[in-house]
């Protein structure tokens, strides 16, 4: 795979079909060939909340939030 250098930068990019493409774009997804999806752990549900602003405060904020969600 060839590398492409930005005109005004020292950054290098790998030339591929994914360049400048949203991985959830409809045209991109229509061009993919993939099989039926299978849930590896069907009994597991994942909920993503907050992020850095919550975890930066430590247990003082994380524990009450997890208690409320449960």
The three state secondary structure string of 52-66 is: HHHHCCCHHHHHHHH
Q: Is 37 helix (H, G, I), strand (E, B) or coil?
A: coil
User: Does position 60 have pLDDT exceeding 80, yes or no?
Assistant: yes
Instruction: Tell me whether residue 38 is in a domain.
Output: no
Task: Note down the domain range covering 51.
Answer: 3-33+43-69
Nearest to 31 by CA among 22, 44, 40: 22
Determine, yes or no, domain membership for 19: yes
pTM for the whole structure = 0.28
Structural domains counted in the chain:
1
Q: What is the pLDDT of residue 53?
A: 64
- Residues 5-48 pLDDT 10s: 877 777 888 887 777 777 778 887 888 888 888 889 989 888 77
| Beta bridge partner(s), residue 12 | 5
Q: Is residue 11 part of a domain?
A: yes
Candidates 28, 29, 2, 5; CA nearest to 16 is 2
């Amino acid at each position: 795979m060839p590398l492409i250098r930005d005109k005004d930068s020292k950054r290098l990019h790998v030339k591929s079909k994914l360049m400048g493409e949203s991985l959830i774009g409809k045209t991109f997804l229509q061009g993919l060939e993939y099989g039926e999806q299978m849930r590896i752990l069907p009994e597991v549900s994942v909920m993503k909340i907050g992020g850095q602003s919550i975890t930066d405060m430590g247990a003082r904020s994380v524990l009450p939030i997890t208690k409320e969600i449960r």
